[in-house]
Chain A
Amino acid sequence: MNVIAQRGYITFKTYPNVSGYVTKAKSFQFGDALPADKDIYSVVDAGTQIVKYAAAIELDNMVRIKVAKITGAALTPLDATLELPPFTAYMQLIKDAGVRLNITSGAPDTLKLTLNIYYDPLVLDSTGARLDGTSTTPVKDAINNFLVNLPFNGLFVINNLITTLQSISGVVIGQIAGAQATYAALPYTEVLVEYTPDAGYMILDPVDGLTINYYPHGPI
């Protein structure tokens, strides 16, 4: 396959699968022309790759693609009149002939987390800020980053979040005391093991999404 890659022929996969649709959705470049008979852009420009988040879900007879972009630091839907039509046209070329696509970009699901963080007092202070001043909210940044990088079907898994918490420098024990998720105006439901967001992606509730209790803890 090396010679194929060098000549820039196929970037999808010889046998495309569902996660391949996610990869290609993220390589969409807003405002750039696709070269004739190619599924990759002649110049890869990360600045115009607006789709930062994509999920592909197989439904009866169709594949549903859910996408979102990043505005500031938060995931937001694509503009329905400006950004979604060119993205749809792009995906119609990229997809396999005969596959029905249903492309949506809706408002995100919201998540509420209550965390108990046992921190190393040599690295973090009692508000969770780093003592060396490089970041004031390392835990929140890590969670936001985790939500942007959910797997291709958007599945939110508590266990993976714990792994993320533990890997933050200065966090000795990361405990999730409570996790709740919802979409639109439905009441919050408890997330025990995993949660599949309706919009395909989720953000922390901007009002009271994150409650963190910090406790000092020695090294273990």
Chain B
Amino acid sequence: MGLYDVDFPALVVQLMPVRLRKAKHVRWLQCLVAPVITLYKSFTANRNNDLYILAHNSQVVYLQAALNDTFDPVTRGIYITDGGFEDPLFVYLDAEHEPLPLYLNTESHPDWLYMNAETALEGYAFIVKVPAAVTYNEAHMRALIDKYRLPSKNYYAIQTI
């Protein structure tokens, strides 16, 4: 029982003098508190919603949790991967002890030299993988992701797997 857990129907009975606790009288008073209960329910729903929002952020694990709670609550198959990018090839000084072996053509182990712009993350920032069995409204899913994701990570993909 927390501070915000109030059982209004029981509270009404508890606050009545014992000699007045007749069935008809109790029901009448419970009718009078009905609007309070309605307000209390909408307050509790809003509070739980706020707690849920505060409990989730842009971290992969929490963004996945929020997506699964909304779209795939049973099998929880939605997950997030990195977008595609090329790792830059670093060339070091001899003394830095980071050798870079170069292979023959016949060894078919190419090392690509990329341009600066190519190693930048210019594709998708991240990719949301959704199982084929999950039906979803893309606008709804994007709105949910936009609520939690980091600023600037606005170019992402939603892919069915």
Q: Are A97 and B51 in contact (CB under 8 A)?
A: no
Q: Is the CB of A185 within 8 A of B60?
A: no
Chain A 74-111, CB-CB to B under 8 Å as 1, else 0, gives 00000000000000000011111111101000010000
Interface of A is mostly: loop
Compute how far the CA of A169 lies from the CA of B98 in the bound complex, rounded to whole angstroms.
Answer: 42
Q: Which of B64-96 contact A (CB under 8 A)?
A: 64-65, 68, 76, 80, 82-83, 85, 87, 93-96
- Which of chain B's residues have a CB closer than 8 A to the CB of A34? 61
Q: Tell me whether A98 and B57 are in contact (CB under 8 A).
A: no
Q: Which residues of A contact B (CB under 8 A)?
A: 3-4, 7, 9-10, 12, 14-16, 34, 36-39, 60-62, 92-100, 102, 107, 183-187
Specify which chain B residues have a CB less than 8 angstroms from the CB of A186 in the assembled complex.
93, 95-96
Contacts A94-B60, A186-B95 hold; do A4 and B55 have CB atoms under 8 A apart?
yes
Determine how close the nearest CB of chain A comes to the CB of B82; give it in whole angstroms.
7
**For the complex, is B19 an interface residue (Cβ under 8 Å from A)?**
no
User: With A and B bound together, what is the CA distance between A93 and B59 in angstroms?
Assistant: 7
The residues of B that contact A96 with a CB separation of less than 8 Å are 57-60, 149-150, 153
Chain B contacts for A7, CB-based, 8 A: 51, 55
